[in-house]
Structure 1
Amino acid sequence: MRTDPAATAAALLPLVGGLANVRSVAHCMTRLRLVLADPARADATALRAVPGVLGLVVEGDSWQIVLGPGVVTRVTAAFEERVRETAAPPAPATPATGPGRSAAEELAARGAELREARRRRNATPLKTALRRVAAVFVPLIPALIGCGILAGVNGLLLNAGLLPWLTPALTAVASAFMALIAVFVGVNTAKEFGGTPVLGGAVAAIVVYPGVAKVTAFGVTLAPGQGGVLGALAAALLAAYVERWCRGRFPETLDVLLTPTVTVLVAGLATLYGLMWAAGTVSTAVGTAATWLLDTTGAFAGLVLGGLFLPLVMLGLHQALIPLHTTLIEQQGSTVLLPILAMAGAGQVGAALALYVRLRHAASLRATIRSALPAGLLGVGEPLIYGVSLPLGRPFLTACAGGAAGGAFLGFFAMLGDRVGATAIGPSGWALFPLLAGDHGWPTLLALYTGGLLTGYTVGFTATWLFGVTEEVRASATAGAATGAPLTEPDAGPPASPDDPAPAPTR
Structure 2
Amino acid sequence: MADYAKTAAGVLKGVGGEENVRSLVHCATRLRFVLKDESKADAAGIKATPGVITTAQAGGQYQVVIGNDVPEVYAEIGKISKFGGSGDSAPAEDGPKGNLFNRFIKMIAAIFTPLLWALAGTGLLKAFLAAAVTFGWIDPTTSTYLVLNALSDAFINFLPLALAITAARYFKASEFTSLAIAGALLYPTVTAATGAPDLTFFGIPFTMVTYVSSVIPVIIIVWLQSHAEKFLYAKLPGAIRRFVTPMIVVLIAVPLVFVVIGPISGILSGWIGSGIGWVFETVPWLGGAIMGGFWQVFVIFGLHWGLVPLFTLEYQTTGQILLVAPIFAAVLAQAAAVAGVWVRTRNKNLKSLAAPATLSGFLAGITEPAIYGINLPLKRPFAFGIVGGVIGGAIIAAGGVFAKAFVVPSTLALPALFGNGNMILLVIGLAAAILIPFLLTVIIGFADPEDEATVAAESNDVAVLSPLDGTVVPLSETPDAAFAEGGLGQGVAIKPRSGAVYAPFDATVVAAFPTGHAVGLRHADGAELLIHIGIDTVKLAGSHFSLKVTAGQQVAAGDLLVEFDIDAIEAAGYDVTTPIVITNSDLYPEVGDAASGPISHGEPLFFARAVEAALAAK
TM normalised by structure 2 equals 0.64
- Residues 247-286 of structure 1 correspond to what in structure 2 (within 5 A)? 247-286=233-272
Per-residue Cα deviation, 1:64-93 (whole angstroms, up to 9, x for no partner): 321211x2233223332233799xxxxxxx
Q: Does 1:401 align with 2:392?
A: no
CA displacement, residues 241-273 of structure 1 (integer Å, 9 cap, x when unaligned): 222333313333332233323322332222111
Superposed, 1:86-97 pairs within 5 Å as none
Question: Contact (CA 8 Å) 2:59, 2:302: kept in 1 or not?
Answer: no
**Aligned equivalent of 2:167:** 189
Tell me if structure 1 keeps the 8 A contact 2:157–2:213.
no
Q: CA deviation at 1:430?
A: 0.8
> What displacement does 1:374 show?
0.7
Partner of 1:420: 402
1:82 to 80, 83, 89: 80
Does 2:231 align with 1:245?
yes
Letter of the structure 2 residue corresponding to residue 377 of structure 1: F
Q: Are the equivalent residues in 2 in contact too, given 1:345–1:429 (CA < 8 A)?
A: yes
Cα deviation code 1:205-246 (max 9, x no counterpart): 333224442744885531442792222222222222222333
- In structure 2, relative to structure 1, the CA distance for the partners of 1:63 and 1:232 (3 Å cut) is same
The letter of the residue matching 2:151 is: V
8 Å contact kept, 1:227–1:280: no
The structure number with the bigger radius of gyration is 2
Q: If each structure's strand is expressed as a fraction of its own residues, which one has the higher value? A: 2
CA distance in 2, matches of 1:477, 1:261: 68
Name the structure 1 match of 2:515: none
Output the amino acid matched with 1:459.
I
Change over 3 Å in CA distance of 1:455–1:11 after alignment to 2: same
- Secondary structure of 1:252's counterpart equals coil
> Is structure 2 residue 121 aligned with structure 1 residue 179?
no
Are positions 1:376 and 2:361 aligned together? yes
Aligned residues: 432
Partner residue of 1:72? 70
Q: Distance in 2 between matches of 1:439 and 1:412?
A: 13
Which residue identity lines up with residue 382 of structure 1 in the other structure? E
Task: Calculate the aligned-residue CA RMSD, in Å.
Answer: 3.1
Determine the structure 2 residue equivalent to 1:496: none
Unaligned runs of 5+ in 1: 87-118, 481-507
Which position in structure 1 is the counterpart of 2:11? 12
Q: CA deviation at 1:347?
A: 2.0
User: SS of the counterpart of 2:215?
Assistant: helix
Kindly tell me: are residues 439 and 399 of structure 1, through their superposed partners in 2, closer, same or farther at Cα, counting changes over 3 Å?
Answer: closer
Deviations 1:330-373 (A, max 9, x none): 3333322112022112221232233344442x333222212311
Amino acid at match of 1:299: W
State the SS of the aligned residue for 1:166: helix
Q: Which residue of 2 aligns with 1:289?
A: 275
Q: Could you tell me the TM-score, scaled by structure 1's length?
A: 0.77
Aligned amino acid, residue 71 of structure 2: T
The change in CA–CA distance for 1:224 and 1:82 in structure 2 (over 3 A counts) is same
**Deviation of 1:405 (Å):** 0.9
Does structure 1 residue 431 correspond to structure 2 residue 412?
A: yes
Asked if structure 1 preserves the Cα contact closer than 8 Å seen for 2:127 and 2:413, the reply is: no
Cα deviation for residue 168 of structure 1 reads 1.2
Of 338, 345, 370, the match for 1:352: 338
For the pair 1:363 / 2:348, whether they are aligned, the reply is yes
Does the 8 Å CA contact 2:393/2:429 hold for their aligned counterparts? yes
Checking the alignment, whether the CA contact within 8 Å between 2:293 and 2:387 is kept in structure 1 is yes
Task: State the distance in 2 between where 1:62 and 1:394 align.
Answer: 27
Instruction: Structure 2: give runs of 5+ residues left out of the alignment.
Output: 85-94, 454-618
Q: Find the aligned partners of 1:157 and 1:340 in 2 and give their Cα distance.
A: 23
The one-letter code sitting in structure 1 at the alignment partner of 2:267 is: T
Task: For 1:452, give the aligned amino acid.
Answer: G
Q: d(CA) in 2 for partners of 1:46 and 1:211?
A: 57
CA contact (8 A) 1:136 1:185 kept: yes
Aligned counterpart for 2:430 among listed residues 453, 473, 482: 453
Instruction: Tell me which amino acid in the other structure corresponds to 2:414.
Output: F
Task: Give the structure, 1 or 2, with the largest relative contact order (CA under 8 Å, sep 6 or more).
Answer: 1
**Kindly, what percent of the aligned residue pairs are identical?**
29
Pairwise CA distance, 1:61: 6.3
Which residue does 1:32 correspond to in 2? 31
SS of residue in 1 equivalent to 2:211: coil
